[in-house]
Amino acid sequence: MRLTKLGHSCVRIEHAGTTLVLDPGVFTQEDAADGADAVLVTHEHPDHVDPERLRRTDAPVFTIEGVAARLREEAPDVAERVTVVSPEESWTIGGSIDVRAVGELHAVIHPELPRITNSGYLLAFRDGDAATAVFHPGDALTGPEVPVDILLAPVCAPWMKASEGIDFAREVGAPRTLAIHDRIYSDAGLGVVDAHFGRFLGEAGLDYTRLPDGADL
């Protein structure tokens, strides 16, 4: 399995001849979805889904109804290849990637704003009798409630304090945590949050990494 960080919350994962891309939004490289065999989108905010990036591939898109509704309005050509998934629904991509939708609501941005829907994705990349589990929560701190090998953890957001992100990562307890959702802070701010995540996760015996765009885990 090869996992590449592509900017903000977008990652590309290649496994057994199948390329999966998650959350190619406006803070992501324009070619993020190029060559994908399938795309997963967690929710409708532009930093997680951009119709122009989805138009660069003809891959099927798996997402929730809130995203599908936005695409039907803004990009009906893309909406034609959308499959709508529900919380706890499971399916398989490429014969060896098992996916389960996790959670239902975006984190609270402000009590006076209505909450939109959000789905995290628990991914199991099978290789014979073994599997590597990766979890992408989208914009929520809703865990998969099962052990995972790699957590893709939001590290800065208008809806989250750094302490909440650290506690979420410790609760999930993945041996490796890869930082995502990192376009909100400046480089100086990211240096501060990286130090906190690294310290507290390190004390718990967990590895924390924030990759530059285009780098592999």
Quick one: what percent of the chain has pLDDT higher than 70? Answer: 100
3-state secondary structure the chain: CEEEECCCCCEEEEECCEEEEECCCCCCCCCCCCCCCEEECCCCCCCCCCHHHHCCCCCCEEECHHHHHHHHHHCHHHHCCEEECCCCCEEEECCCEEEEEECCECCCCCCCCCCCECCEEEEEEEECCEEEEEEECCCCCCCCCCCCCEEEEECCECCECHHHHHHHHHHHCCCEEEEECCCCCCHHHHHHHHHHHHHHHHHCCCEEECCCCCCEC
Please write the tens of the pLDDT for every residue from 1-44: 999 999 999 999 999 999 999 999 999 999 999 999 999 999 99
Distance of alpha carbon 16 from alpha carbon 56, whole angstroms: 22
The stretch 73-79 carries a mean pLDDT of 97
pLDDT for position 200: 98
The stretch 189-199 carries a mean pLDDT of 97
pLDDT for position 202: 97
| Cβ atoms of residues 180 and 157 within 8 Å | no
Please write the tens of the pLDDT for every residue from 130-168: 999 999 999 999 999 999 999 999 999 999 999 999 999
Q: Which domains does the chain have, with CATH numbers?
A: 2-208 (3.60.15.10)
Distance of alpha carbon 85 from alpha carbon 93, whole angstroms: 13
| Cβ atoms of residues 121 and 105 within 8 Å | no
Record the pTM. 0.97
Distance of alpha carbon 140 from alpha carbon 70, whole angstroms: 20
Going by C-alpha positions, the residue among 147, 123, 175 that lies closest to residue 12 is 123
pLDDT for position 24: 98
pLDDT for position 197: 97
